[in-house]
Amino acid sequence: MIPIVLSVAGSDPSGGAGIQADLKTFSALGAYGTAALTALTAQNTRGVSGVLPVPGEFVADQLTALFDDLDVRAVKTGMLGGPDVVDAVVGTVRRYGVRHVVVDPVMVATSGDRLVSDETVAAIRERLLPVASVITPNLPEAATLLGIDKVTPERMAEAGAALLELGPAAVVVKGGHDDGPEAVDVLVDADGVHELREPRIATKNTHGTGCTFASAIAVGLAFDVPLPQAVADAKRYLTDALRAADSLDVGGGHGPVHHFHAAWNTPPAQPHPQPR
C-alpha cells in the first residue's frame, strides 16, 4: 500500500515552501500526502508580509480527525507558531503512538530574524524533541535550540551531539548556510557521526529547501527505509531538485526547487522576452 505521510506546518501561497512544498515532495516520492495547517501566510518568492496563526486547539482538531481515520505512517513538522501548537503535536504523537516524527525546527528566517517566541523555542526543546525520530536544524536553528550565539560549520558534529542529548533519536545539522564547493550535512545518532556530501548547486532558487529535505526523510521512513539511508536519499533528491530549479520561472525573488524534476519533461530555462 502507498504510505500516508502527514505535514504539520504553515501554508505558503507561492507554493515553494511549507505545506505546499511538503505535499509536492510526498507526491514526487510516491507517498500519499496529508496536511494539518498551523498558520496562513501572505508571502511570495521575495518574502513574508503577513502571518495568521491557527490556534492550537484547532490544530489538535485537525490532527484528531486525521488519526481517527487514516493510517499515518510518518509525521513531518515545520512552522509550529506557538507552544499550544507544539503541545497539540506532542499530544497527538503520544496518544496515537506515531512511530516516525521528523522535526524541521523552523525558527529563524533567512534574514537571521527569529520567527518564534522564546516560549515556543522552549516548548520545542523540552517537549517536541524527545518524541522526534530525527530533527533537521540548520546552523542558526541549531544555535537557537542550544541557547548559544552561533554554530560554525567546523562544530556541526559537536552541536549535533549536544542536540542528541535533548532527546531526539537522531539529529541532522544542515550546512547549507556555509559557502564551500560541497553542501555538507552531519547526521548524529546512536551509531556515531556521519557526513553527507553533495555538490553545492549554484542557483538562487532555494525557497523551501529545508521543508523539502525534511519531507523527503519522512517519506523514506514511511517506506521503512533505515534512517541513515532515508537521510542520504533525501539529500540526493534535494540536490537534484536544486539542480533543476533554474528550469522553472516562478517569481522575481528566490524561487522554488523543482520537486517534480524526475517526472516532468521540463525544457531548459529560456531568457525572458524583451519588451518591444
- Which residues have a catalytic role annotated? 174, 206, 208-211
188 phi/psi in degrees, rounded to 5: -120, 125
Cα distance between residue 217 and residue 22, in whole Å: 11
Q: Where are the alpha helices (DSSP H) in 116-226?
A: 118-123, 139-146, 156-164, 209-222
Q: How far apart are the first and last CA of the chain?
A: 55
260 phi/psi in degrees, rounded to 5: -105, 35
Nearest residue to 20 via CA among 100, 72, 79, 91:
79
Nearest residue to 16 via CA among 258, 244, 220:
258
Cα distance between residue 23 and residue 19, in whole Å: 6
In angstroms, the Cα distances linking 236 to 99, 217, 226, 242 are: 24, 11, 16, 10
Cell of 32: 500519499
Cell of 201: 548547486
